[in-house]
Copies of this chain bind each other. A is one copy, B any other.
Amino acid sequence: MKQPSTIKDVAKLAQCGVATVSRVLNSTGPASAETKERVLDAVEKLKFEFSEVGRSLQSSTTRTIGCVIPSLANPVYADAVQGVQETFHEAGYQTLLVCTNYKRNVETKAIRTLMSKQVDGFVLTVSDALSSQGLRSIQSREIPHCLLFNRAPSDAQSWAVDDYSAALRVVDEFVSMGHIHLGFLALKFKTSDRARQRYKGFIEGCFTNKLERPALLEIAEDTENLDVLLANFLKENPSITGIFASNDILALATIRSLRAIQLRVPKDVSVVGFDGIHVGEMVEPSLATIATEPRMLGQGAAQTVLSFINDLPLPEQPELSLSFSFRNGGSLAPRIAENLGDDDVIAF
C-alpha cells in the first residue's frame, strides 16, 4: 500500500513552505501568481490530496456522522439510512454505519467507538431511548444528535412516528370490521421501545372500545418456529380473529405461518402490520398496515443534526398526527361471527 504524498512533499517540490501550500490550496491567504502556479503543478504531479486525518486532528472536526440502527434487513431502516446518508452526503458529510441487530451491548459499544472516532454528530435508532447508555454518553458529551423512530425523552430531538396513536387507530380499524378479540405480536419488548408504545396504545384502544384485553405473543429475534408458537397462541386464545403485528416483516411472517397451519387470511384471521413497507402492497392479500415514511424521517433527522452543527434553526417537523396513515389491505376483513352460536354457517 503506497504512501500518499503529504503537504511537505508538495512544499518541497514547489520550493516553498508548507504554509504556502495550505494557503494556496485552501484559498485562505495571499500568494503570488508564480507561487500558486508552482504549488498547483506540484499537486498535479504528486496527485496530492489533503489527508482528512491530519485535518481532523487540527480542527477537531471530522465531517463524519455516526448512524446507528438495528438492521438493514428491515426495509424501514434501509430506507431511513438511505435518507440519512444522502442528506449528509449532500452537505459534505460521510456516514459511519453500524447495525446493532437489536443487541443493546453492541449499541452501547458502537456508540463509544464512534465517539472515539470523533464523529461530528449522530443519528440513531436505539433499543430504548430512556435507558440507552450510549445515548446518555452522547448527551453528556453534548454531541449533536437526533433520534430516529425513537420518541425523544424530552431533552433530545427526534423524528419519529406516533406509535401510540397509530396503535389506537389500528384498534379502531379492527373494531369497524367487527372484531372483538385481538392479539398482539411483537419481538421481545426489550429490543424496541417502539413496539412497547404500540402495545400500550393497542391495549388502551381495546379498553376504550370495551374489548377484552388483547392477548400478547412475544417472540425472539431469531424465532424459527413461528408456526408452532402461533398455533399454540391461537389455541390458548381461540376467540382471536385479528392480530396486530408490531411491524410489517413480522406481519408478513405471521401471514405465512397462519397459512402453514391451515388458517386463511383474512377469512379466519385478519392481520394488520406496522411501517408500510413497499412489499406489503405487492403481496396477496395486500397487507393492511400503518404507513410511514422512513426515508423522509431519515432526511429530517439528518437535517436536524446538520442544523445543530451549523447552529441553524431546527427544520420544521410535520405534525406528529401526520406521521402515519392507515393503509387498508386485503389482510383485514370483516369478522365472521362463527363463535356466536350460529357456528360455521355464516363462515362458509
- CB contacts (< 8 Å) of A115 on chain B: these are 4, 49
Residue of B71, B75, B118 near A51 (CB, 8 A) is: B118
Closest chain-B Cβ to A279's Cβ sits at a distance in Å of 5
Could you list 19 examples of A-B contacts with CB < 8 Å? A1-B142, A49-B112, A49-B116, A51-B116, A51-B118, A53-B118, A57-B57, A71-B82, A72-B78, A72-B85, A73-B82, A78-B78, A85-B97, A85-B98, A94-B98, A95-B96, A252-B282, A282-B282, A283-B283
Q: A53-B56, A57-B54, A78-B72 are in contact. Are A114 and B141 (CB under 8 A)?
A: no
Q: A1-B143, A144-B1 are in contact. Are A116 and B86 (CB under 8 A)?
A: no
Say whether A34 faces chain B, with CB atoms less than 8 Å apart. Answer: no
Quick one: which of A130-153 are within 8 Å of B by CB? Answer: 140-144
Q: Are B116 and A50 in contact (CB under 8 A)?
A: yes
Nearest opposing residue in chain B for A99, CB measure: B85
A contacts, CB < 8 Å to B: 1-4, 49-54, 56-57, 60, 62, 64, 71-73, 75, 78-79, 81-82, 85-86, 89, 94-99, 101, 106, 110, 112-118, 140-144, 252, 256, 279, 282-284
- CB contacts (< 8 Å) of A99 on chain B: these are 82, 85-86, 89
- CB contacts (< 8 Å) of A3 on chain B: these are 60
- CB contacts (< 8 Å) of A64 on chain B: these are 96, 117
Q: A116-B49, A284-B284 are in contact. Are A81 and B86 (CB under 8 A)?
A: no
Q: Are B2 and A52 in contact (CB under 8 A)?
A: no
Q: A98-B94, A114-B94, A118-B53 are in contact. Are A78 and B73 (CB under 8 A)?
A: yes
Residue of B50, B57, B97, B117 near A97 (CB, 8 A) is: B97
Nearest opposing residue in chain B for A80, CB measure: B72
Extra contacts besides A53-B53, A57-B57 (12): CB < 8 Å = A4-B115, A52-B118, A53-B60, A54-B57, A72-B79, A82-B99, A85-B98, A89-B106, A94-B117, A279-B279, A279-B283, A284-B284
- CB contacts (< 8 Å) of A53 on chain B: these are 53, 56-57, 60, 62, 117-118
Q: Are A52 and B117 in contact (CB under 8 A)?
A: yes
CA distance A95 to B95 in the complex (A): 8
CA distance A286 to B18 in the complex (A): 63
CA distance A142 to B78 in the complex (A): 31
Closest chain-B Cβ to A67's Cβ sits at a distance in Å of 8
- CB contacts (< 8 Å) of A252 on chain B: these are 282
Most buried by B among A49, A51, A53, A117: A53
Q: Are B113 and A94 in contact (CB under 8 A)?
A: yes
Closest chain-B Cβ to A66's Cβ sits at a distance in Å of 9
- CB contacts (< 8 Å) of A142 on chain B: these are 1-2
Most buried by B among A1, A75, A115: A1
Nearest opposing residue in chain B for A252, CB measure: B282
- CB contacts (< 8 Å) of A52 on chain B: these are 113, 116-118
